[in-house]
């Protein structure tokens, strides 16, 4: 088990009700972490209900859902970006 910082932005943050939380996990990849988070409570389940609308960054670099978590300290989940 390792401890990682999980960050949420935009509507994911609002649905979960927090911008960050510390999670103990043995998840090998992002998809497994999402499954663990979704099982925590209804808020997390609602936030991750549509994975097509969720993007992820590992240690502040964009990644995909199948990316491994080995050595990663910060995982961020957010909707597609709308800058500019």
Smallest distance from the beta carbon of 79 to another protein, in angstroms? 7
* Using rule CB under 8 A, residue 63 touches another protein: no
Query: For residues 23 and 3, what is the distance between their CA atoms, to the nearest angstrom?
Result: 6
Note whether 56 and 64 are within 8 A (CB): yes
CA distance 15 to 28: 25
Give the DSSP letter of residue 68.
Answer: B
> In the bound complex, what is the minimum distance in angstroms from residue 36's beta carbon to another protein?
22
46 binds another protein (CB under 8 A): no
Chain positions contacting another protein, by CB under 8 A:
7, 9-11, 13, 57, 60-62, 76, 78-84
């Amino acid at each position: 088990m390792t401890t990682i910082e999980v960050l949420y932005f935009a509507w994911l943050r609002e649905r979960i009700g927090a911008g960050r939380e510390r999670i103990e996990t043995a998840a090998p990849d992002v998809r497994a972490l999402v499954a663990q988070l979704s099982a925590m409570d209804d808020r997390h389940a609602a936030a991750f209900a549509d994975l097509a609308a969720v993007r992820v960054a590992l240690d502040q670099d964009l990644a995909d859902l199948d990316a491994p978590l080995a050595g990663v300290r910060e995982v961020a989940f957010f909707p597609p970006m709308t800058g500019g």
